[in-house]
Amino acid sequence: LAKTTQPISMDSYEGQEVNITCSHNNIATNDYITWYQQFPSQGPRFIIQGYKTKVTNEVASLFIPADRKSSTLSLPRVSLSDTAVYYCLVGDAGSSASKIIFGSGTRLSIRP
Amino acid sequence: SQTIHQWPATLVQPVGSPLSLECTVEGTSNPNLYWYRQAAGRGLQLLFYSVGIGQISSEVPQNLSASRPQDRQFILSSKKLLLSDSGFYLCAWSVRSLGRNTEAFFGQGTRLTVV
């Protein structure tokens, strides 16, 4: 399984765009990149998933360069409610069953 | 729609007592099922995962065990709890299909305190 590395914590202010970068140098051909959000005392919630280039949904955008050795989660115009831990995962979505391994995540704090 | 039920929400157990946490999924069939534990301020540790009835893979050797007696039921057990078993336990499921099996849906969790 590819290991991921992301910053332990980040701070930002309301209304700003926040970019969280994750490194996954050993990503395999079949691996997809998935990001989750976790609030205190809750389970993680799926945010976005991608394989290459750019993926956008109503919550975030995910940028993946051509070599796929890193990815960046972009949160536009954050609010206080975006304060949470964000996890970057790399897993084999090319088979029907996959272990889902979480790292330590990035603790994002949004200030007024 | 699919839902996942996990209970109890909180649990306080003495050291050496047994444990049984149950998780059930509704609205889907043949899911992948997972048990995670999260210590305070830490990331999620995968304990067990299952791709089918009676099929359990253990990620962390310890005094915990898991069973899947039915397709949508996943049980986490221990015969004798340790203080180090305290934590936030989360059950999750994912769709068993290409490209979607890495999108997990979590239950509300059980906060276990061993005293």
| Interval A43-71: pLDDT, tens | 999 999 999 999 999 999 999 999 999 99
Q: Is B42 on the interface with A (CB under 8 A)?
A: yes
Q: Is A29 on the interface with B (CB under 8 A)?
A: no
The class level of CATH for A9-111 reads mainly beta
CB-closest option in A36, A44, A99 to B49? A99
Extended strands (E) in B1-115: 3-7, 10-13, 19-26, 32-38, 44-52, 55-58, 64-70, 73-78, 87-94, 104-106, 110-114
Q: Which residues in chain B are closer than 8 Å to A100, comparing Cβ atoms? A: 34, 46, 49, 92, 94, 102, 104
Distance from CA of B19 to the nearest CA of A (A): 20
| Structural contact between residues A24 and A88, judged by C-beta atoms closer than 8 angstroms | yes
Torsion of Cα atoms, A25 then A30 then A33 then A36, to 10°: -120
Structure tokens at B69: 């007696």
With a cut of 90, say whether residue A30 has pLDDT above it.
no
CB-closest option in A43, A91, A96 to B98? A96
Summarised one tens digit per residue, pLDDT across range B53-106 is 999 999 886 789 999 999 999 999 999 999 999 999 999 999 877 767 678 999
pLDDT of residue B59: 87
Confidence of residue A99 (pLDDT cuts 50, 70, 90): confident
pLDDT of residue B1: 80
Say which residues have a Cβ less than 8 Å from residue A37's Cβ, sequence separation at least 6. Answer: A44, A45, A47, A84, A85, A86, A87
Q: Count Cβ atoms below 10 Å from residue A55 Cβ, excluding itself.
A: 17
pLDDT of residue A12: 97
Which is more confident, B13 or A1?
B13
pLDDT of residue A1: 61
Contact between chains at B102 and A49 (C-beta distance less than 8 A): yes
pLDDT of residue B82: 94
Distance from CA of A40 to the nearest CA of B (A): 9
Q: Which residues in chain A are closer than 8 Å to B103, comparing Cβ atoms? A: 34, 46, 49
Contact between chains at B101 and A49 (C-beta distance less than 8 A): no
- Domain spans of chain A, in order of start: 9-111
Domains and CATH numbers, chain B: 3-109 (2.60.40.10)
